[in-house]
A and B are shown apart, each in its own frame.
Chain A
């Protein structure tokens, strides 16, 4: 099976802009979770989607949103970008009720 893929791999934006990141899960995986990784805060949970529904949400402002499509692909959107949003955004997928999450390569976002 192909692994988890994320696009784009790198992005440079300026403050105030918005950005959309995409995650394609492993075939058959219906759960997609998003994490933000920064040197200072480590790996922080953003949200999880399952069957096109947001099932859980971390402690991030409303500028961070996401959605999932019927083919389980997921997107996350960050509006009104701030310098502190610069990070590696990772998605991780799992079959559904299974425990193991598999990570994508991440999208590295730089906000100038």
Chain B
């Protein structure tokens, strides 16, 4: 099955700096890669996703890049703010197969220091 590894497990950044989280996956058939943000005591919320036919996607201060050859994808948060403090999860899946499931990375706890 799919195995997703995520690094680092914790990340502390100064407000205004950038944060980068990296994930690798093992199943070359995976073609959908969402990122979820989970604040303490709340549900995971989708913040951005990318499909295998795209190399990069940006939404305001958040961007995701995908390298299918190397089987890794990354989340970039620029101009970090205190409200960016949360746990971030990457995931991989094959949504159009009957074997659909999200395989998650272990999560990265991001702390933005004021």
Contacts and interface: CB of A to CB of B under 8 A. Distances in A.
A65 to B, nearest CB: 17
B95 A43 contact: no
Interface stretch (B10-18, B44-52, B54-62, B74-82): B44-52
Given A43-B104, A45-B103, A56-B98, A100 B49 contact: yes
Interface string A29-49: 001010100000011110010
> Is chain B's interface secondary structure helix, strand, loop, or mixed overall?
loop
A39 B101 CA distance: 20
Contact of A99 (B32, B45, B104, B107): B32
B45 A55 contact: no
Assign chain B's interface to a size class: 20 to 34
Interface string A41-67: 011110010000001101000000000
Assign chain A's interface to a size class: 20 to 34
Contacts of B43: 90, 103-106
A42 B93 contact: no
A97 B101 contact: no
Contacts of B51: 99
Interface of B: 32, 34, 36, 42-46, 49, 51, 89, 93, 95-96, 98-107
Interface of A: 31, 33, 35, 42-45, 48, 55-56, 58, 90, 92, 94, 97-106
